[in-house]
Structure 1
Amino acid sequence: MIGCIIQARMGSSRLPGKVLMKSDNGRPFLYHVVNQLRHCTKVKNLVIATTVNQEDDEIQKFANNNTIDVFRGSEKDVLDRYFQCAKKYSFSTIVRITSDCPLIDPQIVDKVIERFFSGNYDYATNTLIRTFPIGTDVEVFSFGVLETAWKNAQLPSEREHVTPYLRNKGNFKTINVENDTNISNLRLTVDRIEDFELIKEILNNISTNPIHLEDILELFSRKPELIEINKRINHNEGFNRSLKEDQEFIKKQENNH
Structure 2
Amino acid sequence: MSGIHSTLKPKVRSLFAFIQARTGSTRFPKKVIRPIPPGSDKTILDHIHSRVLKILPNSRIVYLIPEGDSELESFLVKNGMLHFSGPLEDVRQRYILASAKFEADAILRLTGDNPFYDTTHLDLLIQTFIESDSDLAYFQGLPLGTGGEVFRTSALLNLSGSQQEERHKEHVSIHIKENPNLYKITAIPSILTKEEGSRLSNFRLTVDTPEDFETISDLLTQRSFESICNFNTKEFLEWENESPSLFRKNLDVPQVRFNLPSPNEKIKGKIGVLVAPAKEFGSGHFSRTSLLYSFLPYRGWEPEWLSTFPKDGEYDILLIDYRDVKIQVPYQRTKVLLLDHFGEEKKKYDLWDLLPHPQNDRIFNWEQILIPPNLISSATIEEKNPLKEYEIFCYAGNLGKEESENLDRFLIQNSSQKRIRIGGTPPKTNEIEYFPRLSRVQYLQTLRSSEKFLGYFGQSLFEALFLKIPSATFSISPIHTELSYVLEKYNIPFTDLSRKTDFSLGTKTVGENGYKLLLEKIDSL
| TM-score (structure 1 length as normaliser) | 0.84
Whether 1:31 aligns to 2:46 is: yes
Q: Which runs of 5+ in 2 are unaligned?
A: 1-13, 260-525
Q: Map Cα deviations across residues 40-82 of structure 1 (whole Å, 9 max, x no partner).
A: 15896000000013xx211111111121111000111100001
Q: What does residue 66 of structure 2 align with?
A: 51
Aligned to 1:217: 237
Quote the Cα distance in structure 2 between the aligned partners of 1:150 and 1:8. Answer: 25
> Which residues of 2 match residues 109-188 of structure 1 at below 5 A?
109-126=122-139, 130-149=140-159, 153-169=163-179, 171-179=182-190, 180=192, 181-185=197-201, 186-188=203-205
Say if 2:204 and 2:251, in contact at 8 Å, map to a contact too: yes
Hey, what does 1:70 align to over in structure 2? 83
Q: Once the two structures are superposed, what CA deviation does each residue of 1:132-164 show, in whole Å capped at 9, x if it has no partner?
A: 111013110111111113656511111111011
Q: Deviations over 1:192-224 (max 9, x none)?
A: 111111211222223313332222222211111
The amino acid of 2:166's aligned partner reads P
Q: C-alpha deviations, 1:154-185, integer Å up to 9, x for none? A: 11111111011010136000011222224442
Cα distance change on mapping 1:156 and 1:87 into 2, 3 Å: same
Check the 8 A contact 2:15/2:107 in 1, yes or no. Answer: yes
Larger Rg: 2
Whether 1:199 and 2:216 are equivalent positions in the alignment is: yes
Specify whether residues 160 and 148 from structure 1 end up closer, same or farther in structure 2 by C-alpha distance, changes over 3 A only: same
Q: What CA distance in whole angstroms lies between the structure 1 residues aligned with 2:221 and 2:76?
A: 24
1:115 deviates by 3.3
Distance 1:43 1:145 in 2: 25
Question: Do the aligned partners of 1:93 and 1:141 also contact (CA within 8 Å) in 2?
Answer: yes
Q: In structure 1, what is the Cα distance between the partners aligned to 2:84 and 2:146? A: 23
Distance 1:71 1:41 in 2: 18
Q: Aligned partners of 2:33 and 2:160: how far apart in 1? A: 29
Distance 1:16 1:136 in 2: 22
Alignment-derived partner of residue 439 in structure 2:
none
Q: Relative to structure 2, which stretch is displaced further, 176-185 or 139-148?
A: 176-185
Q: Secondary structure at the match of 2:189?
A: coil
Are 2:281 and 1:230 aligned?
Answer: no
Name the SS of the counterpart of 1:233 in structure 2: coil
CA contact (8 A) 1:76 1:159 kept: yes
Tell me if the contact between 1:4 and 1:43 (Cα under 8 Å) persists in the aligned partners.
Answer: no
Change (3 A) 1:153 1:31: farther
Moved over 6 A (4+): none
2:29 and 2:56 map into 1 onto residues whose CA distance is: 32
Structure 2 residue 15 is the aligned partner of structure 1 residue 2: yes
Q: 1:5 to 1:71 in 2, by over 3 A?
A: same
Task: Identify the range of structure 1 (211-220 vs 44-53) with the bigger mean alpha-carbon deviation.
Answer: 211-220
Letter in 2 for 1:147: L
The amino acid of 2:175's aligned partner reads Y
- Of the structure 1 ranges 19-28 and 82-91, higher mean CA displacement relative to structure 2 is found in 19-28
Check if 1:89 corresponds to 2:102: yes
Query: Greater shift after overlay, 104-113 or 90-99?
Result: 104-113
Instruction: Name the amino acid aligned to 1:142.
Output: R
Paired with 1:43 and 1:132, the residues of 2 have a C-alpha distance of 25
Take 2:241 and 2:188, find their aligned partners in 1: how far apart are those partners? 24
Retained in 1: the 8 A contact 2:15–2:60? Answer: yes
Distance 1:156 1:82 in 2: 16
Change in CA separation of 1:113 and 1:146 when aligned onto 2, cut-off 3 Å = same
The aligned amino acid for 2:188 is: V
- Of the structure 1 ranges 137-146 and 20-29, higher mean CA displacement relative to structure 2 is found in 20-29
Q: Distance in 1 between matches of 2:81 and 2:178?
A: 33
TM-score, normalisation: structure 2? 0.42
Structure with the higher fraction of residues in helix conformation:
1
**1:101 CA displacement:** 0.6
Deviations 1:8-28 (A, max 9, x none): 001112211111121132211
Q: 2:25, 2:253 → 1: CA distance?
A: 16
Q: CA deviation at 1:34?
A: 1.0
Identity across aligned pairs (percent)?
A: 28
* Number of aligned residue pairs: 234
Contact 2:58 2:81 in 1 (8 A): no
Report the alpha carbon displacement of residue 228 of structure 1 after superposing the two structures with TM.
1.4
Report the secondary structure of 1:71's partner residue.
strand
SS at match of 1:13: coil
Do 1:116 and 1:175's aligned partners in 2 also have CA atoms closer than 8 Å?
A: no
Q: In the superposition, relative to structure 1, how do residues 138 and 149 fare at CA in structure 2: closer, same or farther (>3 Å)?
A: farther
Query: Matches of 1:27 and 1:84 in 2, distance apart?
Result: 30
